[in-house]
A and B are shown apart, each in its own frame.
Chain A
Amino acid sequence: MDWTALRVSLWLGAGTIAILLPFGIWFGRLLAIHQFRGKVFVEALVTVPLVLPPTVLGFYLLVMFGARSPLGQAFQSLVGQTLPFSFEGLLLASAIANIPFVVQPIQRGFEAIPSDVRDAAACCGLTPWQRFARIEVPLAWPGILTAAILTFAHTLGEFGVVLMVGGNLPGETRTLSVAIYDRMQAFDDRSAGVMAATLLVIAVATLMLTTTLSRRVGVRRG
């Protein structure tokens, strides 16, 4: 069992949620509430990481992060290290790969709020921020929770993007799923089996958590 890899995986999952959730709530709500020209295109763009092979996504992210790209250069001059093959680069790649898993459930969550209910909140004298915090977020909560859990579970399981962008550096970019592959290459079936079982248990546990929580929300709401 590679405990360092497990730690990297868990940090990556938590970090991805921390980065992506605020963005997902802002962007998902925007897509749910506002009508604008080119919305269909934006929605398609958001979904692209879902259907693209992870290696293709990883390839483009690598190009984007490279020392010759503006992003790569900016990061290097700011932090003093390169984005590819670092935990920071992996985190950013993971955040981009998980956009559809965050935006879509949150968008559905906000779409489920009748526009009359939002209007009624305004007529009750609530400011836009109060409406958001006291009416919209509590009502979109199941969608936000689903987004967080899906992102976490998906990050733990991500393989192609991690290998392309992060490589296989112990303690830095070697996640549990990469470690399993690594152990299998070395004919260490026992370690691979233990780690695979660990991921399986985490996956089942998170899904059970989602179901329980969303059921509780359902009971509260009717």
Chain B
Amino acid sequence: MCDVADRRLSVRIQQRSPIPLDLDFTCDPGDVLAIFGASGSGKSTILRSIAGLYRPEHATIRADGETWSDTASKAFAPPHRRAVGMVFQEYALFPHLTALGNVMTALGHRPSTERRSRAEDLLRLVHLSDHQDRRPHQLSGGERQRVALARALAREPAVLLLDEPFAAVDRMVRRRLQDEIDELRRTLDIPLVLVTHDFDDVVRLATRLLILERGKAIASGALSDLTSRPDMPWLRDAVGLGSVFDARVVRRDPERGLLELTFGGGTLIASNRVLDAGTVVRVRIAARDVILATSEPDGLSLHNVLPGTVTALNADPAFDHIVVQIAVGEVLLLAEVTRDAIARLDLTSGKRLYALIKSVSIGVIPDFRSI
């Protein structure tokens, strides 16, 4: 049980109809794999297959050191025999049971004398102790989501599955729930698979990313690797390109409203956030916010002038701009520039230049464990 490879979730699914699916991925304990794609691309079907609620034509699913599905050997464990916690898109709480009753339903593997106190502990964990006797219709959207999360955790799952977990709550609640899930992830140490069509969820929670287009995995890998690739037209059209990487707060300068961050490529100045020195943050820099210069400029208002080397150029005829990948230390940044700029600056692979970024263009997400 202690071996990481043993607790890894590995999934291979292939089918032609009714929903075409073709993908193959693994997710280690402690990782959050985000399956990102448009609505109708088969995302939920993948989660349902892992849970055993759907049986694809061909599937091999292993988790918790066991084979859950293997169509080749006709092995199939029904959903109630899989240690899987699932949070459904509409939460799917049991309407005739209280919050406590909902959580207790998933505690059948525990002795009956322990169930109640265990359920109370879980509701406390999701900050719902005051509402344990309420029924789902007496709870707000965010509260229902928390009950669903507590119920999923009650099973003591070997894999946690989240199906569009924030789709039905407003922006403010969403942020708080994202933070709570991120906090949980650190203590759980199990594979976590998140299905979403909102890139904000990906940037905030994922460590690994799988991009799904019409049921086919078109790219998968570590979040920082995929987001720094210049040849991702699907991502470019859906959310805009932009590198995501981790950094640490070195110093806070409240007077000037600035934050000094250190990252694999040196130092970044971001605009004001109420963060303390030492905090690990996740940073996203949109490709269209990066300006390139061949010599170090002078007399500019912006703070970040990062020396780097061009590592790749991507000229997609279907796209107006050229995407330039620049290595700044160990970190790869992307910049979107016009074809005219490429010609004027004579940009080729290997050329040394400066990446210019305004401090307000740096998206900082606090409190993140490293990728």
Interfacial residues, chain A to chain B (CB-CB below 8 A) = 114, 116-117, 119-128, 130, 134-135, 138-139, 220-222
Contact = CB atoms under 8 A, between A and B. Distances in A.
Contacts of B106: 123-125
Given A117-B95, A119-B48, 12 more contacts: A119-B79, A120-B94, A122-B51, A123-B80, A123-B85, A123-B106, A124-B108, A124-B151, A139-B94, A220-B135, A221-B96, A222-B138
A117 B92 contact: yes
26 contacts: A114-B90, A114-B92, A119-B48, A119-B51, A119-B88, A120-B94, A121-B94, A122-B79, A122-B80, A123-B86, A123-B155, A124-B80, A124-B106, A124-B108, A124-B151, A125-B155, A126-B105, A127-B80, A128-B80, A130-B108, A135-B94, A139-B94, A139-B95, A221-B137, A222-B135, A222-B138
Contact of B84 (A123, A135, A222): A123
Nearest to B138: A222
B65 interface: no
Interface residues on B, range: 20 to 34
> What is the predominant secondary structure among interface residues of chain A facing chain B?
helix
A116 B92 contact: yes
A119 B85 CA distance: 12
Contact of A119 (B53, B105, B137): B53
B109 interface: yes
A179 to B, nearest CB: 43
Interface string B88-132: 111011111000000001101100000000000000000000000
B80 A125 contact: yes
Contacts of A114: 90, 92
Contact of B96 (A116, A119, A125, A138): A138
A56 B92 CA distance: 46
B78 interface: yes
A177 B81 CA distance: 54
B96 A220 contact: yes
A220 B136 CA distance: 11
A119 B90 CA distance: 12
A216 to B, nearest CB: 12
Contacts of B88: 116, 119-120
A117 B136 CA distance: 12
A123 B95 contact: no
Interface of B: 48, 51-53, 78-80, 84-86, 88-90, 92-96, 105-106, 108-109, 135-138, 151-152, 154-155
Nearest to B78: A122
Contacts, number: 77
Contact of B86 (A117, A120, A138, A222): A120
A166 B52 CA distance: 52
Contacts of A125: 80, 106, 108-109, 155
A222 B93 CA distance: 14
Contact of B53 (A122, A126, A128): A122
Nearest to A113: B95
Nearest to B156: A125
Contacts of B52: 122
A77 to B, nearest CB: 43
A102 B84 CA distance: 37
Contacts of A127: 80
Interface centre among B92, B93, B137 (most CB of A within 10 A): B92
A116 B80 contact: no
A222 B84 CA distance: 30
Closest 3 pairs (CB-CB, A-B) = A222-B137, A116-B92, A124-B106
B256 to A, nearest CB: 51
A221 B94 CA distance: 10
A103 B234 CA distance: 50
Contacts of A120: 86, 88, 92-94, 151
Given A221-B95, A222-B95, A123 B90 contact: no
Contacts of B89: 116
B141 to A, nearest CB: 15
A58 B212 CA distance: 60
Nearest to A127: B80
A95 B78 CA distance: 36
Contacts of B135: 220-222
Contact of B108 (A119, A126, A135, A220): A126
A130 B89 CA distance: 23
Contacts of B136: 222
B355 to A, nearest CB: 47
Contacts of A126: 80, 105, 108
With a 10 A CB-CB cut-off, give which of A116, A126, A138 has the most chain B CB atoms.
Answer: A116
Contacts of A123: 51, 53, 79-80, 84-86, 106, 152, 155
A184 to B, nearest CB: 48
B105 to A, nearest CB: 5
Nearest to B136: A222
